[in-house]
Amino acid sequence: MADRNEIDLEATRAPVILGGIVAASVVCTLFTAARLWVRGKILGRLHADDWLVVASVISIWVSVAIAFVAVEHGNGRHLEALNQKQQETVVFWTLVGFPFGILSFGLPKLAVVALLTRIMNPSRMHKAILWTMTLGCNVLLVLNALFLLGRCQPAESQWNFDIEGTCWDPRVLVIYAIVTGAYSAFIDFYLAVYPALTLSRLQMKRKKKIGLMIALGIGSASTAVAIYKCTRLPLLAAKDFSSWKAAPLLSQPASQFSNP
């Protein structure tokens, strides 16, 4: 751990953490509200993909609320600047918030597949492949959260420093997270490219075709975010990963939300 004299004990990355997730969450919520209004009011019907997106937005805001609680107790600051009780509370709420952040960008993948299989009419085999890929991705993401919470025995030793526990080598968690993140990026890329290729073969006006390609391929932005996060995941191996060094990760859960 760094020498207290070598760090700025007053420094905080709370604005980075909260500013990033609140801004992204507001944008996601506005897009979802517009989507529900169009589907419900104008088209008169909501589909499974709409409800999956709603569940994702709820997960986002739960994650945001938990982030505010964690920041209130010192998240975003160097652990050396906090007393033991504050450190324990920061670690606890950071760990609690991770599963909701993971759900917030796992569920939209299922929503995209539900939408694409309804409007693109893929073959039975292709439909099975799409669902298998995205369900598998969500399973890997959930396991990521479970491994993070259960990497120490007893688990309570992570947020109660008076309890001695036995923990995995943090590199195991980092490697698994990188593999999962890379697979998630591949899924986002595939779900963006597939409708674009399908639409390119259809006979329709060019402007309409381009508009649909952009609308259905917007999830490709999630690919870039996922790749960037993979490059930052080694931060999980830092001793104070839940506070100062993890700010780049904690500020981005909602940014991988793709609203189909």
Residue 237 confidence class, pLDDT cut points 50, 70, 90: low
Can you tell me the distance from the alpha carbon of 121 to that of 31, in angstroms, rounded to the nearest whole number?
25
**What are the extents of the domains in the chain?**
12-255
pLDDT digits (tens, 9 = 90+) for 159-215: 898 998 898 888 888 888 888 888 888 898 888 888 877 777 666 666 656 666 565
Question: What residues contact residue 32 under an 8 Å CB cut-off, 6+ apart?
Answer: 53, 54, 57, 259
Cα-Cα-Cα-Cα torsion 226, 63, 146, 32, nearest 10 degrees, comes to -60
Q: What is the pTM of this model?
A: 0.78
pLDDT tens across 75-131, in order?
A: 888 777 888 898 888 888 888 888 888 888 888 889 889 988 988 888 999 999 999
d(CA 248, CA 67): 13
Mean pLDDT, residues 227-255 taken together: 55
Backbone angles phi, psi at 75, to 5 degrees: -65, 140
SS3 label, residue 251: coil
Distance between CA 17 and CA 94 in Å, rounded?
12
**Residue 65 pLDDT class (50, 70, 90 cuts):** very high
Query: Does residue 4 register a pLDDT over 60?
Result: no
Q: Is the dihedral of CA 175, 180, 183, 185 positive or negative?
A: negative
Please state the rounded mean pLDDT for residues 60-65.
90
Looking at residue 232, its pLDDT comes to 56
Q: What is the largest CA-CA distance in the chain?
A: 68
Share of residues in the chain with pLDDT > 70 (%): 73
- When mean pLDDT is compared across 51-55, 103-107, 152-156, the lowest value belongs to 103-107
Cβ-based neighbour number of residue 221 at 10 Å: 15
Confidence of residue 61 (pLDDT cuts 50, 70, 90): very high
Q: Has residue 244 got a pLDDT over 70?
A: no
Identify the weakest region by mean pLDDT among 15-29, 30-44, 85-99, 224-238: 224-238
Confidence class of residue 20 from pLDDT cuts 50, 70 and 90? confident
Asked if residue 12 lies in contact with residue 244, where contact means CB atoms within 8 angstroms, the answer is: no
3-state secondary structure of 59: helix
Name the most confidently modeled range: 71-80, 213-222, 244-253: 71-80
- Name the strand (E) or helix (H) holding 167: strand 166-167
Angstrom distance (rounded) from CA 125 to CA 31: 32
**Percent residues over pLDDT 90 in the chain:** 14
